[in-house]
Amino acid sequence: MKKWGLHLLLPFSLLSCTQKESKPVNMDDLSTLKKEFLQQIHISNVKEGPFSFNYQFRTIFSSKEVISLFGTLTVHDRLPHGWQRYEGKTFCIVNDQYKEVALDDLFITEIQKEFLRKTCEAHLKKDPTSYFAGNEPLRTTLSQDDIRTFVMDDQYLIVIFQPYSVGGCGDGPFLVKFPFSDLQGHWNSLHPIHSLLKQATQSCAFTSSWDLKQFYEGLLEEHNQ
C-alpha cells in the first residue's frame, strides 16, 4: 500500500464556534488570537503560568481527491485551565479545485439532520463521562447547534464536540464515529465526496490517521513484512 503522510502545524483553519460562546472563536484568525493571548498574559498573575498557546493541525485523511484535517487550539493564559477549541476541515476536489465540505452539504434534509442529532445524542447518553449520563444529567437533549465540527477518515464520519458542550473540558474531545455503512440512506449520497473517497480508498493512495498510534504501528508492521 502506498502511503504518504502530511502532518501540519499551520496557521490555517476555519471558523469554529457555537452559539454558547460569549466571544466566537475565529480559528481562521490565529494572529488575533495570539494578540489576545499576549494581552491576557500581561494582566494574568505570574503564578497562573507558565502560559502557552498551542495550535496543532493534522491530517486525518489525505489523498489527492479528499483531505480532512483536525485542529486543536489549546490556550493557557490564566488559572485554572485557559480554554480549548477543536476544528475540522474537509475538502474534496470539484472541477480541479479543493472545495470545503460542510455538514449541511452531507445532511441536507431535516430528516437527515435529525438522524445525525438523535444518533449523536444516543451515543453520548451511553458515555458515563458526558453531561447526558448519570443520575443527575446536566443536559438531556442535544442541540443541532452543538453538531458543527467533523472530520472524515477512510471508514468513518467523526463528529467532534467542543469543550463543555456535551462534557467537561478535560475529557474531550467527545466524539461520535459513524461507520459509512451506517449512514447509507441517512445522508446525501449524491455528494461528490462519496465517489472521491471510494476512488481514493480503492487506489490505496491515502493515509488515514485519526488514531496516530495505530497508524504508526500499521506502518511498522508493513516494514516488518
Partner 1 sequence: MVFVKAQTGPANIGDPISKFTVQYFDEQGNMTIRSDGSRAWRCNNPGNLHRSSYSMSKKRGAIGFAGDSSDEYAVYPDKKTGHEALVVMLKGSIYSPKTLRAAMEYYEPKKKDYIDIIVHRTGLNPERTIKSLNDKEFDDFWKAIEFVESWEEGRADFIDKKYISGVHKKRGIIFEYFVQNLQGGVWLKKEEAISLAQEGKLHAIVVHLKNGSAYLRPEHGAKPFELST
List contacts with partner 1 (CB under 8 A).
20-23, 25, 45-50, 52, 54, 56, 72, 74, 76, 78-85, 128-129, 131, 133-134, 136, 138, 163-164, 167-173, 211-214
d(CA 196, CA 61): 12
Rounded least distance, CB 96 to partner 1, Å? 35
d(CA 16, CA 69): 13
Nearer to partner 1, 52 or 184 (CB): 52
Rounded least distance, CB 199 to partner 1, Å? 28
Nearer to partner 1, 173 or 218 (CB): 173
Residue 160's CB: how many other CB atoms inside 10 A?
A: 22
Rounded least distance, CB 35 to partner 1, Å? 15
Nearer to partner 1, 83 or 91 (CB): 83
- Give pairs for 162-167: CB < 8 Å, separation 24+: 162/16, 162/18, 162/85, 162/86, 163/83, 163/84, 163/85, 163/86, 164/20, 165/18, 165/20, 166/124, 166/130, 166/131, 166/132, 166/139, 166/142, 167/124, 167/127, 167/129, 167/130, 167/131
Rounded least distance, CB 131 to partner 1, Å? 7
Rounded least distance, CB 10 to partner 1, Å? 16
Rounded least distance, CB 90 to partner 1, Å? 19
Nearer to partner 1, 5 or 137 (CB): 137
Nearer to partner 1, 128 or 185 (CB): 128
CA angle 145, 196, 161 (to 5 degrees): 20
Strand order in the sheet with 174-179: 149-152, 156-161, 174-179
**Rg of the chain over CA atoms, in angstroms?**
19
